[in-house]
């Protein structure tokens, strides 16, 4: 048995894991872009490494060797997911969708709380600029871009006025 293999056997696998976990994690995450999938890739990488530990002749090349296993494992995971027509969950997109749904539900509950007459009365109390844009958006169904063109103002100005109108409307409705 070569001396380098003997030296490697002296290294505890837990030590190898601790030394190279961050490196393997970084590689796996860069490829998968998914925290949960990254954990699976790391586990698979270290299982493969453990099974083939005796094939490493130079302990100084342990890092590059593990990096290679990690990248190949991650690529394999991604291919398997596509082949099986699985959609890897993008948790940011999922959270955004969930947040949008919650906001919609909240807004629906808020509008159900008030009668149409109460809302119309409070819309009439908005500042003229806010009221005009609010009516164009919600009564006439115009898009922000269309409102901006019609009023010769920027889209950002339309958005901020709509935001203020909704906030003022909400505040006044909650007071009553």
Tens-level pLDDT at each residue, the chain (176 residues): 344 444 444 467 788 888 889 999 988 888 888 888 888 999 999 999 888 888 877 878 888 889 889 999 988 888 887 555 444 455 555 556 555 665 565 555 555 566 777 778 888 888 888 888 888 888 888 898 999 999 999 999 999 888 988 888 888 877 76
Within-domain flag for 96: no
pTM of the model: 0.43
DSSP state of 67: H
Within-domain flag for 110: yes
Same domain, 73 and 110: no
What total of structural domains would you count in the chain?
Answer: 2
Within-domain flag for 165: yes
- Residue 161, classified by CB atoms within 10 Å of its CB into exposed (0-12), middle (13-18) or buried (19+), is buried
Residue 103: per-residue pLDDT: 57
Q: Report whether 2 contacts 53 (CB < 8 A).
A: no
Same domain, 61 and 109: no
Within-domain flag for 88: no
Same domain, 142 and 171: yes
Within-domain flag for 9: yes
CATH of the domain at 114: 1.10.10.10
Within-domain flag for 72: yes
Same domain, 110 and 69: no
Residue 152: per-residue pLDDT: 93
Instruction: Please give the backbone phi and psi of residue 91, each rounded to the nearest 5 degrees, phi first.
Output: -65, -25
Q: What residues make up the domain containing 155?
A: 102-175
């Amino acid at each position: 048995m070569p001396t380098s293999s003997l030296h490697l056997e002296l290294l505890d696998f837990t030590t190898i894991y601790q030394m190279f976990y961050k490196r393997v994690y970084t590689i796996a995450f860069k490829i998968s872009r998914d925290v949960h999938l990254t954990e699976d890739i790391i586990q698979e990488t270290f299982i493969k490494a453990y099974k083939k530990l005796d094939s490493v002749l130079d302990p100084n090349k342990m890092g590059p060797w593990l990096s290679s296993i990690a990248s190949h494992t991650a690529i394999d995971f991604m291919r398997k997911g596509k082949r099986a027509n699985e959609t890897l969950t993008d948790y940011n997109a999922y959270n955004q969708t969930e947040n949008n749904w919650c906001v919609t539900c909240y807004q629906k509950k808020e509008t159900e709380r008030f009668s149409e007459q109460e809302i119309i009365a409070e819309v009439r109390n908005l500042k003229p600029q806010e009221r005009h844009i609010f009516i164009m958006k919600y009564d006439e169904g115009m898009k922000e871009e269309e409102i901006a063109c019609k009023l010769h103002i920027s889209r950002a100005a339309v958005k901020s006025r709509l935001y203020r109108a909704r906030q003022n409307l909400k505040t006044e409705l909650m007071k009553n």
